[in-house]
Amino acid sequence: MDYESILKENGIMMEGITLKSQKKSPMELVDEKYTSGLFNGDATKAIDLVNNDEALTYANIFDYLQFRVNGLQVSGDGADYSVVYRQMASASSMGVIPMTLFLDEVETEASVIATIPANQVALVKIYNTFAGAWGNAPGGVLAIYTKKADDYGKSGSYNNVLLYNGYSIVREFFAPDYKKPVTTDRPDNRITLDWRPNIFINSINPRIPVSFYNNDRTKKYKIIVEGLTSSGKMIWVEKMVNGK
């Protein structure tokens, strides 16, 4: 008795099974590589900047997005930016509600994102609403991802060219002046409350008084100190402090 006959004696022979799977698109691969958690998967709009070079000629990512995304409006300059998606509804008591912005999945101010050249951005996603933001982000969410090292130089005809900013533009740190009457109901959701790039000390165990205006929700603060000693030794300290 041959082998096939033995198999038939012991049971029913099934026809051959062919398994098929769908190859992931370049967009899906980029999304899988860069996003996580609530940011992963479906969005109202997603733009892959790893596999195309249409953003390379723009100074910053906002300039590109105003050209690329219908209804996205960026107003202001310097440290005072506002990003609005006109397809979103506005709250009657607050007027037009700006978008909540994320840079590499960390909520970030528009003035910081404006310093990033468009050629350093890998992925942009827009959400009409987002459970991971305060109040579900009634103005919508704009999530921007900067390129990982292995994705530089992949797009289009620039395969053998790496574009990089020579230096960062000097900008004044923006902080609201609450000594003046507040004329808007817009909540204060600033992430960075105070930034002091030039502190010089020449004594042992110095005490440096620091004052700043808090935002509307922070009760615990992260303090980061970076610098150099007079002998060139690098200093880096990070500490969490509870507010009173």
Compute mean pLDDT per 10 residues along the chain, 244 residues long, and list them.
60 69 85 91 90 83 87 74 71 69 90 87 90 74 92 60 58 76 77 84 80 86 86 87 80
Distance, CA of 214 to CA of 212 (rounded, Å)? 6
pLDDT reported for residue 178:
80
Residue 229 token pair? 């000693």
pLDDT reported for residue 138:
81
Distance, CA of 165 to CA of 120 (rounded, Å)? 9
pLDDT reported for residue 79:
57
pLDDT reported for residue 1:
55
Closest listed residue to residue 186, CA positions, set 87, 100, 105, 85: 100
pLDDT reported for residue 146:
93
Residue 25 token pair? 């698109």
pLDDT reported for residue 41:
82
Which CATH topology does 26-158 take?
Ferric Hydroxamate Uptake Protein; Chain A, domain 1 (2.170.130)
What distance lies between CA 230 and its chain's CA centroid?
36
pLDDT reported for residue 158:
47
Distance, CA of 161 to CA of 6 (rounded, Å)? 64
What are the sequence ranges of the domains in the chain? 26-158, 178-244
Closest listed residue to residue 114, CA positions, set 173, 60, 171: 60
pLDDT reported for residue 33:
93
